[in-house]
Every structure is written in C-alpha cells, then in structure tokens.
Amino acid sequence: MIDQAIFNRAPLAPNTYSELPLGAVKPLGWLYEKEKALAEGITGHLYEIWPSVRDTAWMGGNGENWERGPYYFDGLIPLAWELNDERLKSVAMRFVEWTLASQQENGYFGPHDNPDWWPRMVAMKCMKQYFEATGDKRVLPFMAKYFEYEYKMLDGQPLGMWAIARAGDNIETVQWLYNITGAKVLLKLCDKLLAQSIDWTGYYHTFPDSRDQKKAFPWKLLQPMMEENPDPWSAGWQQHQRTHVVNQAMALKTPVLDHTLHGGIKQAQAFYAGWEKLMKHHGVASGMFTGDEHLSGTNPTQGTETCAVVETLYSLETIMGQLDDAKLGDIWERIAYNALPAPISPDTWAHQYDQQVNQISVGTGKYNWYNNSNGANTFGLEPHYGCCTANLHQGYPKFVSHLWYAVKNGGLCAMTYAPCEVKWKVGDTRVQVTVSGNYPYAEDISIKVRCEKTAKFPIHLRIPAWTEDAYAKIGEETFVGEAGKFLVIDREWGEETETNLHISRAVKAEKYYHQSVAVTCGPVLYALPLGEKWEYRGAEMPLSDRYATAEKPFNYALLPEEGFTLSEDGRSVTATGFPVPEWKEKDGVTEPIPVLPKQKEESVQLSLVPYAEAVLRIAQFPQGRK
C-alpha cells in the first residue's frame, strides 16, 4: 500500500479531507461478514460463471469488450485487498496485467476493437485503486501516457454517447494523477473533458427535468427521436443522457470537480442545488432518487436502479474528499445503510435491477416503469440489463475504503461508524484505529486509538445533522459535538486511548410524496415487513430467478402523533396505524398513496423493521387522520 494520502496540488482548490489509499481501512464485524459473503458469493465467482466477465476482452477473452469487465474489477479490486484474499487478487491481476500489456506506443489501451472512451474511464478507476493498494511502479506511467493520448485525440474523436454524461469519472482520476505528478497537461485534459461533456454545473442550477419522465417525455416519444438522430447531442439523446438515472448518479461529482479546477460560487453550489431538486422531484425515503431507468418522480412504487445506488455512493465518496462538509456524510450513510443492502440477497448471488421503497411483490407484477422490462425487480443473477450484475460490486468495498479519510497536515477523519480498523501513519507514527459498536442501531461507539509512540494529531468525528446530543469521552474529559459538523479532538494520543462517542438518535417521521410518512431513526429507514412467499424459476439455486408475493396486507396508514417505540436493540420500531381498505393493489403494485385517509377502523400496532431486511415492505405510509 502507498503510504501517503493524495491532497490537491495548486492550482486545484485545497481540500481538508482526502481518501486514504485502498487497504488502509479494513472491515470488521457485520461489515466484514458482508464482504465475506460477496467474496464467497457473486463477486468471488462471477468471473467463473457469467460470460460477460468470464470471457471479457479485458482479460484477453473474445467476449464483451465494453464496460462490464471494468465495472466488475472496479469492485473486485477493493474487495480483494480489503479482505487480503489471494484468490481474488490473482483474478484482479489477470485484468491488471492484460490491461497494462494492452497499451500501445501512442498510449491507447484496452480492447482495440472498441475505441469508446467510456469503459476506459472505469478502467482508470480500477488502476488508481490497484496502485494505491500495491504501489506498482508501472501504473503511473501507464496512466500518464494514456491521458496524454486522450488529450491529443479528443479534438478529432470527441466524447460520444455515455462519455458526454460520465466524464466526471474521467476527470477524477486525471486530477488524482495531477496531484501526484504535477504535469500541467492533465489540467488541460480536465478542461477539455469538461468542455466536451454535458454542463452539469449549469444543469444542476436550472434542473429542467423536474417532472416524472413518464409524463414529461414518454419512452414512446423519446425512442423514435433517438432512432432518427443518433448524434449524442441531438435533442432526443440529450434528453436521454440527462435523465438517465445512472448518468445522474455519476454526474453528481462533476460540478464539484469543476469547482476543484476553477473555484467559483456557481461551481461550489451546484451539487447542493442539484441534490435538493433531485430529491424534491424524484426522491424517496431510501435516500435515493428514482429512475427506471429515467428520472421517475416521487411515487415510492417507482424503481431505483442498483447501478444508480452504487454510483451515487461513489460520487459522494469523491465529493466528501473535496468539500469540507459533515452533512454530505448524512446523505451518504442514509443510502449506504438502506438502499445499498436492499437490492442484494443475503447470499449475494441474486440482486434486483430496480428496488422499490413500497414493494409488495417482486417479479410477479406489472410494474409501471419508464422503459425497464417488467421483471426488473426480480432477484436474479441478471434480472434485466447486466450492468448492475457487473457494477454492484463496488458498493461495499468503497463504502469500507471511505469510512475514514486523511486530514490535511496529519490526522484522521471518520465519516460514519461501521465497524472497521484503520492502519495509518501520522507523521512518522504508526496509528491503528479500531471502531466497534452497533452503529447505526446503537448510540454508543467505541473508537480505540493505538499509537506506537505518543503523538499529537487531530481526529475529526462526523456528527450527523439528525442528532440532538453528541459527545465524545476520553477518560474524564468530555468533548461536545455540534450536529452537522465535525467534532475535532486535537490532542496527544498515547499508546492506547479509548474514545467513547455517543450520538443520540430518536425515531422521526419524515414527509414525502402525497404527504406520506417514512419512519427513521438516525440513518436507518424502517419498513412494515409483508413476509415473502418465494418461488424459484430457471437455473438451480443459488442462480435461480427469485420471485416473491406478500403474505400479509400492506394497506395501513400511520398515526405519527401517537408516537413510536424503538426496541432496545434498535432493530424494530412499533408504530400506531389503522387499515385503509380503499388503498388497493393492482397487479402487484400499490395504487397511489391515499392522501390523509380518515380513520374508520380500529387502531393496530405495527412492528417495523430495517428497510433492507424486508424484501416486501411498505416504507412510505399514508398519513392517517383521526
């Protein structure tokens, strides 16, 4: 592992926090179990069973030569090094060695029969992580040579489809390399990439796509326009590229990187302006926005693609390293603790392409998607397009590698408190930090700091905006935190110091679509579990397509003013509600949420569980009226 965090070099805007190199943070506890399940399940075996990766041209095969290989390795590489799994590392090396060897004299690399810029953007994300984990001396010259090639070639061969929306992922690795080498051509390349891509900085300020695309621009209207004019800058393709849910997820980082390059108030505020509007017009209680697969409005029966979940997380992980803002972590952890686990089966072999916040059947209904195939919420190996099959792997490993950041001028910063171990050097002192506790289901977190010798440095602890009371205790000393800020503990750390961090939380009712109510406690969303009757079709388990129908009724309203009771272990919430018989199901989907239904039936106690633990569920309820 390289032993330095890479901070912005002038003239890039200075950053306070920067990613730790891959391998500095290792998962513990339940997070280790999650990663182990991926290693023993889909991530650890996809290269053996799934033709798009097994035969990928990115390992010299004669199969898919586009994004799927790089997508897979973008998640496999961090998983392999975080678990220190030799088998997975050797699979990663097949990609790395093939990719390095594929570079031509002029700098071009990758499957030579597919010159698309886009999959190379993902391949560079892979190589960056591989370099951080190993320090392999071949990587930086390889990247520098390719970026010079790209700089020279872009005028004659400009960014095309997908790349015009996704260039932020390219700019991110170019800036990272610039911070290491200082080569000015890299800054010029960033400008060229920005100039050739959608102006996301401007877009997020105006946000023209506030409407559900089914109504604003139905697929039957959009598709013929795209067929008629395949130019990526044609009106049809513009609309397509702008409103594509994964493009949106990836694009969130672009204005922030624009700000890193150029400064400016417009650039600084674009992410915030855009996120606010995205969530206002397309947001749901999982912390994500909908898109099945274009922006789909706020009805919680609309789908959110799994690629959009992992890419939003990654954009936030990039942004948290550029902007000094604790509130970004609130957005990030809300998604990571809810929308990330929900579409992946516990054995990891099956996933959904689209998850719904109010999901009363999977695979068996008639879903009101924008243009996804009907079965897109089935759990399977490839329930719809294979992008999610290839791309879901980056979710957990990058969550792990971004739990802690390096602080400029020494020190460490915690973004959330999942169990992990950080090994890092502050100045010339080796430091080990161990986080344990049941966050986000408990209020007390133990952070043990061990130093090989006494050293003075700050530890920054993110205090979520949702807490009422947060403090850290070290022995008799108390450090009081402020919600939505970093609590900085700057002191001398001895051989072993235990910090007990307390972050209070309370059950809250949030408002969404049709005045619906979502129940949260800290970053966790709670849902009414409907039970699942599973049916397995196609291949043998665990590779079957998995369909589910509900065992219990879904149609209840909540009375939030009656209060909530959180169980001692934090894993269930009891709420008061009443049945709403007029709220009906149609073909496996709930009808629109009734607005403020009046209570006609007896009140009942409803036991809610964490969102991701109920496959069939209601997590946005009608708000009842007495």
Binding positions for Zn ion, rule: CB under 5 A: 305, 307, 387-388
Q: Write down the least CB distance from residue 48 to Zn ion, Å.
A: 21
Measured from the CB of residue 307, what is the shortest distance to Zn ion in angstroms? 3
Q: 510 by DSSP, 3-state: which?
A: strand
**Is residue 498 helix, strand or coil?**
strand
Which CB sits closer to Zn ion, 344 or 528? 344
Q: Which of 409, 530, 599, 545 is nearest to 14 (CA)?
A: 409
* Helical ranges in 102-233 per DSSP H: 117-134, 139-153, 163-181, 185-196, 200-206, 213-216, 219-228
CB of 379 to Zn ion, least distance (A): 14
Query: Taking the complex as a whole, how short is the minimal distance between the CB of residue 468 and Zn ion, in angstroms?
Result: 38
Task: Kindly tell me which of 150 and 382 has the beta carbon lying closer to Zn ion.
Answer: 382
User: Cα(41)–Cα(96) distance, rounded to whole angstroms?
Assistant: 22
The answer to whether residues 491 and 502 touch, using CB atoms and an 8 Å cutoff, is: no
Of 203 and 353, CB closest to Zn ion: 353
Complex with Zn ion: residue 258 or 311, whichever CB lies closer: 311
**Angstrom distance (rounded) from CA 619 to CA 554:** 10
Q: Which amino acid is at 114?
A: N
CB of 394 to Zn ion, least distance (A): 12
Looking at the Cβ atoms of 16 and 312, the one nearer to Zn ion is 312
CB closer to Zn ion, 85 vs 311: 311
Q: How far is the CB of 311 from Zn ion (least distance, A)?
A: 9
Work out how close the CB of 304 gets to Zn ion at its nearest, in angstroms, rounded to a whole number: 10
Q: How far is the CB of 246 from Zn ion (least distance, A)?
A: 6
Give the type of residue at 592. Answer: P
Residue of closest CB approach to Zn ion? 307
Angstrom distance (rounded) from CA 319 to CA 328: 8
Q: How far is the CB of 287 from Zn ion (least distance, A)?
A: 18
Size (the chain), residues: 626
Shortest reach from residue 359's CB to Zn ion, in Å: 18
For Zn ion, the closer CB: 209 or 382: 382
What is the rounded CA–CA span in Å between residue 615 and residue 379? Answer: 10
Q: Based on CB atoms, which residue is closest to Zn ion, 295 or 447?
A: 295
| Residue 47 CA: distances (Å) to CA of 35, 52, 271, 329 | 17, 8, 36, 33
Non-local CB neighbours of 128 within 8 Å, separated by 6+ positions: 143, 173, 176
CA proximity to 96, closest of 80, 117, 116, 114:
80
Nearer to Zn ion, 172 or 305 (CB): 305
User: What count of other Cβ atoms lies within 10 Å of the Cβ of residue 17?
Assistant: 25
Residue 556 backbone phi and psi in degrees, to 5: -125, 145
Distance CA 201, CA 306 (A): 25
- 572 half-sphere exposure, CB direction, 13 A CA radius: 10
Q: Report the residue number, 284 or 519, with the smaller CB distance to Zn ion.
A: 284
**Helix 163-181 and helix 117-134, axial crossing angle in degrees, nearest 10:** 30
Question: Are 527 and 572 spatial neighbours (Cβ–Cβ below 8 Å)?
Answer: no
Toward Zn ion, which CB reaches closer, 303 or 523? 303
CB 32 within 8 A of CB 81: no
Q: Which is nearer to Zn ion, 212 or 305 (CB)?
A: 305
| Strand runs labelled E in 364-485 | 404-407, 412-414, 420-426, 429-437, 444-451, 455-462, 470-474, 477-480
Cβ-in-10-Å burial (0-12, 13-18, 19+) of 2 comes to middle
Shortest distance in whole angstroms from residue 306 CB to Zn ion: 6
- State the minimum distance, in angstroms, from the CB of residue 123 to Zn ion: 18
Provide the 8-state DSSP code for 338: I
* DSSP-assigned letters across all residues of 588-614: TEEPPPPSSPBP-S--EEEEEEEGGG-
Question: Measured from the CB of residue 310, what is the shortest distance to Zn ion in angstroms?
Answer: 9
Give CA–CA dist 285/63, Å, rounded: 39
Query: What pairs with residue 294 in β-bridges?
Result: 244
Nearer to Zn ion among residue 292 and residue 317 (C-beta): 292
